[in-house]
């Protein structure tokens, strides 16, 4: 048995009952269940429809996300989340670079790396080198002045906790940012790279080994082993090419507002909803939210 979920942006055009029931009828699904009126609904399916992606494309034009997944085991016990452009709306290294006067150059490298066009470690090393000499205090300025949180993040983490879940923030960015973001959102632990500092200034180097795609997979494996879980118990979310390893390994890998080349490799794609979409995908109703 499968579950088809239809999810809208809570701040955008509402999910219409007719759209849900028409699709349900066309696919021979079960009764529609509204998890949040106007935002999220779901219904059972005996099999994955052959025209899933054709319908998905049409719904994208209406600002609606469609996800189909196995019904069994969809409520997960661990959240593994990327940080930049996932739990927050920015790429921290781009914001640091902008303050260093090399924003355009670094932003271009970041975009190519996240799209899978460049080796992540080499791209990170190149970008960090351009930050050499920047005062360490600029990190606090970026956090205070430039970082915004993706809607639904605190609710996502709090609800996972309320139902016995564990939350891990894992980033190819920097611990100076993940520590603050993890504390704000309520994550149980965080893992990232360390920017090296000397005499109050960034050295332009990052501590080794560099945490990239393989390290995110390792973080999933280590956390699940420690907690007595398996990869099937994990819902992972990310947007970049370095997230694909963990997204493919997790029981549910969600590409959230992801780069097109990344989203195309994931079955669960959220392009319009916010982070509460990860709760609807697990079958939680808005009345369950913490």
Longest C-alpha distance within the chain, in Å?
66
Note whether 204 and 190 are within 8 A (CB).
Answer: no
What positions carry a catalytic annotation? 82, 84
- Helix 92-100 and helix 103-114: axis angle, to 10°? 160
The dihedral built from the CA positions of residue 131, 142, 290 and 65, taken in this order, carries a sign that is negative
The three state secondary structure string of 234-285 is EEEEECCHHHHHHHHHCCEEEEECCCHHHHCCCCEEECCCCCCHHHHHCCCC
C-alpha–C-alpha distance, residues 15 and 8, integer Å? 6
C-alpha–C-alpha distance, residues 32 and 197, integer Å? 55
Size of the chain in residues: 290
DSSP label at residue 88: B
Among 150, 143, 57, 49, CA closest to 99: 143
């Amino acid at each position: 048995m499968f579950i088809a979920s239809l999810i809208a942006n809570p701040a955008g055009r509402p999910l219409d009952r007719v759209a849900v029931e028409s699709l349900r009828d066309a696919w021979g699904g079960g009764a529609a269940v509204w998890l949040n009126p106007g935002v999220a609904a779901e219904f059972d399916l005996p099999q994955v429809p052959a025209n899933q992606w054709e319908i998905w494309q049409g719904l994208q034009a209406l600002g609606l996300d469609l996800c189909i997944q196995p019904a069994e085991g969809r409520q997960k016990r661990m959240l593994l989340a990327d940080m930049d452009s996932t739990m927050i709306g920015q790429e921290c290294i781009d914001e640091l670079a902008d303050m260093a006067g090399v924003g355009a150059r670094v932003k271009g490298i970041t975009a190519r790396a996240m799209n899978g066009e460049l080796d992540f470690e080499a791209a990170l090393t190149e970008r960090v080198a351009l930050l050499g000499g920047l005062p360490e205090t600029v990190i606090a300025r970026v956090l205070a002045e430039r970082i915004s949180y993706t809607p639904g993040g605190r609710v996502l983490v709090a609800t996972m906790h309320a139902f016995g879940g564990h939350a891990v923030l894992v980033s190819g960015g920097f611990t100076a940012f993940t520590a603050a973001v993890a504390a704000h959102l309520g994550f149980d632990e965080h893992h990232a790279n360390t920017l090296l500092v000397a005499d109050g200034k960034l050295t332009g180097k990052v501590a080794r080994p560099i945490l990239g795609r393989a390290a995110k997979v390792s973080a999933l494996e280590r956390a699940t082993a420690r907690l007595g879980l398996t990869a099937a118990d994990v819902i992972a979310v990310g947007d970049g090419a370095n997230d694909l390893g963990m997204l493919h390994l997790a029981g549910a890998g969600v590409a959230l507002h992801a780069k097109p080349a990344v989203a195309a490799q994931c079955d669960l794609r959220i392009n319009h909803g916010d982070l509460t979409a990860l709760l609807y995908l697990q079958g939680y109703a808005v009345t369950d939210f913490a």
